[in-house]
Amino acid sequence: MGSANDIWMLLRNYWPVLLGNTLEWYEFAVYGYMESYMEKNFFRGSALATWLGFTATFAARPLGGMFLGILSDTFGRKVAVIVSVIGMLAATVGQGLLPTPRLWGDTSVMADLGVGLLFSLRLVQGLCTGGEIGAVTTYITEVSAHRSMGRCIAFISITANAGFMLARLVVWAFQSHCGEANMLDWGWRWPFILASVPGLVSVWGRLFCLKESELFEEEHAHSQLVDSGSDSETAGQVGRSKERKSTRRQLMEFACTHFFAVMISMGGVISYAVFQYGGLVWVNSYLKKHGAPPNSLMLAGTCSRLFQMALALPVGWLADIYGTALLTFAGALTQTLAGLPLFMALAADPQSVANLFTTYTFGYSLVASLQFTVFLYCSELFPTAVRNLGVGVSYNIGFGIFGGFAPLIAEASVEWIPYGPGVMLSVAGLITCVTILASVSCQRTGRVQLAHIRPRPYMGTWADGDGDMASE
């Protein structure tokens, strides 16, 4: 009953955070699932240019993680998640209201304005999303009970997959109702605009229902006490001056102190990032272009997300028993071994419904399900004072570089090597495996601390060493 109560408390008190997380992944998925319409409306039939527009969002994510990470670590987790969800909502809805070259003509000033605004809005979306994922991960990690942290973090995976699934269902519903011609003319706009419904609910919930993280409040109170030194007004002014100076120097101090933790976090993210966007999102477009039956593809994709949602809590339970790093390593190793064979099987007969469900629905879903523990893996690497900044920078650099460019690389590589995307998936898994093994070896020699909240379970007794320290 203890763990069930932990989960209930999380859902009751922090539902606005989880709803916003659903919105975050919905808006990314909508663009990917409507790649063919964006290609014809904005990019004159160029698939590579369309995926470059998708990648633009990821280029801004590290900056967003940095800015909102500092904001969160200075003023609180609640402030950061409010700013991030408002920005994401405005950028997503705005994309559905843009003028397009197809509508105005390629030589029209309005058409050029539409393409420019599309890139601008996707950069804004990236800035806010970069801060959102760091804040959400930090929030859930800090408010979760140690005994059920893996199961609580599973709700990031559940809401993320819900966002992907809703995007797929919304796009499919409009395609079925409007038809291809109307979808190309105006129907593509509505999946973006409809994001306003859950977005406004999440904004309201974060403004009026959200509680601050107790770990942050304790850390912040301690920092203020140390800075002020006394109760006098003069001492308080000195304390505030020190706090502002610390904020200006925070990035430099963070880079010097936590460089290895950032590198470990980035390496740990690569497998999951590449699989999400180079495996699940891009493959959907690949299958559509290679003759997969549209209704079967929609159903296979929806079942894939439902399957991942169903596996999230059991995988979180395994992480609570055997350790975060062990489950993250298991997922990356599975991707290393299965990435190439799965894509080869899928490419062999993309029009086969049986092959579609066996490979895309169950094979890809199993690989993805084993890797959502990377959120907890990254969050554990940093102490409370810089946790949001650490996750925001490292996760978003890893996701931005490797996840953001994965569809672009997959699209290009499939023209050079028939099974290039499968090779990409396996190599990404291998990089994460090597990163985790190297990091645990470093902890055994006392050079880095891998877990600041829950040192055990982590990766079995092998992870224990002179550098293993008590939780905060």
User: CA separation (Å) from 114 to 54, 104, 189, 192?
Assistant: 15, 9, 13, 15
How far is residue 163's CA from residue 430's CA, in Å, rounded to a whole number? 28
For 434, other C-beta atoms within 10 Å of its C-beta total 13
Residue range 164-185, pLDDT digits in tens? 889 988 998 998 889 888 999 9
- Other CB atoms within a 10 A radius of the CB of residue 445 amount to 10
Lowest mean per-residue pLDDT among 62-71, 378-387, 461-470: 461-470
As given in the structure block, the two tokens for residue 454 are: 């829950």
- Please determine, for residue 463, whether its predicted confidence score (pLDDT) is greater than 80: no
Mean pLDDT over residues 206-222, rounded?
A: 76
Print burial letters for 158-174: b (CB count within 10 Å at least 16), e (below 16).
Answer: bbbbbbbbbbbbbbbeb
Cβ count near 216 (within 10 Å): 23
Which domains occur in the chain, in start order? 9-212+258-463 (1.20.1250.20)
Instruction: Inform me whether the pLDDT recorded for 62 exceeds 90.
Output: no
Answer yes or no: is pLDDT of 268 > 90: yes
Looking only at Cα atoms, what is the longest distance across the chain? 75
CA 65 to CA 72: how far, in whole Å?
A: 10
Residue of 34, 302, 62 lying closest to 190 (CA atoms): 34
User: Residue 33: pLDDT above 60?
Assistant: yes
pLDDT, one tens digit per residue, over 77-130 is: 888 888 989 999 999 999 999 988 877 766 667 767 888 999 999 999 888 887
Does the reported pTM lie above 0.75? yes
What per-residue confidence (pLDDT) applies to 238?
40
Q: What is the pLDDT of residues 423-458, one digit of tens each?
A: 999 999 999 999 999 999 888 888 889 999 899 899
Q: CA-to-CA distance for 392 and 279, rounded, in angstroms? A: 23
Confidence tier at 468 by pLDDT (50, 70, 90): very low
Q: Residue 320: pLDDT above 90?
A: yes
- Does position 231 have pLDDT exceeding 70, yes or no? no
